[in-house]
């Protein structure tokens, strides 16, 4: 870990309101994996974001927007997030979202295949569209027209846009985690 974890008592006046908002949002929306230390310090991507409130606050606002009333089914979201995390080999992201995906009913075999960077053969139609969409975006270039059309067909125009922003957000999360070498909790 390249950044010290900041205990709540050591937060600056600029960091404290962001911390309070993040802690509340983490408690409500990011359950099932370790993300807050025993003393209340934030782990995962939240610690780097709290270190630099000028950048961390807007990223956190986008994160809140993405978890507030999503239109995409939970399994579809987790497939896209895991494809992104797998592409970047982002250990903390994979750790957290494998747990979340298991709670949302995705099989261990499906998850292991995605984490290994491969496309499972037993994806539902919506999961396959999410996999192909995320995979195409993280591998660079313009999203293929047929992949875009399939996303619009499955999720509507709004859902396809949401899927794009979700992949973009988790690219940023993965890069943040990798930049600061954020470890998987003990």
- pLDDT tens-digit map of 93-116: 999 999 999 999 999 999 999 999
- The predicted structure's pLDDT at residue 186: 83
Query: Which range marks the domain in which residue 57 is found?
Result: 8-67
The residue among 67, 83, 111 that closes a domain is 67
Does residue 54 have a pLDDT over 90? yes
Task: Read off the pLDDT of each residue in 178-183 and give the average, rounded to a whole number.
Answer: 98
Mean model confidence pLDDT for the chain: 97
- Classify each residue of 119-135 as buried b or exposed e, where b means 16 or more C-beta atoms within 10 Å of its C-beta: ebeebeebbbbbbbbbb
Q: What is the pLDDT of residue 11?
A: 98
- Count Cβ atoms below 10 Å from residue 112 Cβ, excluding itself: 12
Confidence band, pLDDT 50/70/90 cuts, at residue 130: very high
Can you read off the two tokens belonging to residue 110? 């499906």
Domain boundary, last residue among 21, 52, 67? 67
Identify the three-state secondary structure at position 116. coil
pLDDT at 131: 98
Q: What's the mean pLDDT in 137-156? A: 98
Task: For CA atoms 123, 129, 134, 139, give the dihedral sign.
Answer: positive
Does 148 lie in the same domain as 90? yes
Half-sphere exposure (Cβ direction) of 43: Cα atoms closer than 13 Å: 20
How distant, in Å, are the alpha carbons of 4, 12, 33, 175 from that of 44? 12, 19, 10, 12
């Amino acid at each position: 870990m390249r950044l010290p974890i900041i205990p709540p008592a050591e937060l600056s006046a600029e960091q404290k309101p962001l911390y309070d908002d993040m802690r509340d949002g983490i408690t409500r929306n990011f359950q099932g994996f370790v993300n807050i230390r025993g003393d209340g310090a934030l782990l995962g991507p939240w610690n780097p974001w709290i270190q630099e409130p000028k950048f961390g606050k807007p990223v956190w606002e986008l994160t809140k927007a993405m978890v507030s009333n999503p239109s995409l089914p939970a399994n579809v979201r987790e497939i896209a997030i895991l494809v992104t995390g797998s592409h970047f080999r982002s250990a903390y992201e994979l750790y957290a979202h494998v747990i979340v995906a298991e709670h949302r009913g995705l099989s261990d075999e499906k998850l292991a295949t995605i984490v290994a960077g491969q496309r499972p053969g037993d994806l539902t139609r919506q999961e396959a569209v999410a996999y192909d969409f995320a995979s195409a975006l993280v591998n660079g270039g313009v999203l293929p027209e047929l992949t875009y059309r399939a996303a619009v067909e499955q999720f509507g125009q709004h859902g396809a846009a949401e899927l794009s922003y979700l992949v973009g957000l988790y690219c940023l999360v993965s890069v943040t985690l990798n930049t600061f070498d954020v470890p998987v909790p003990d």
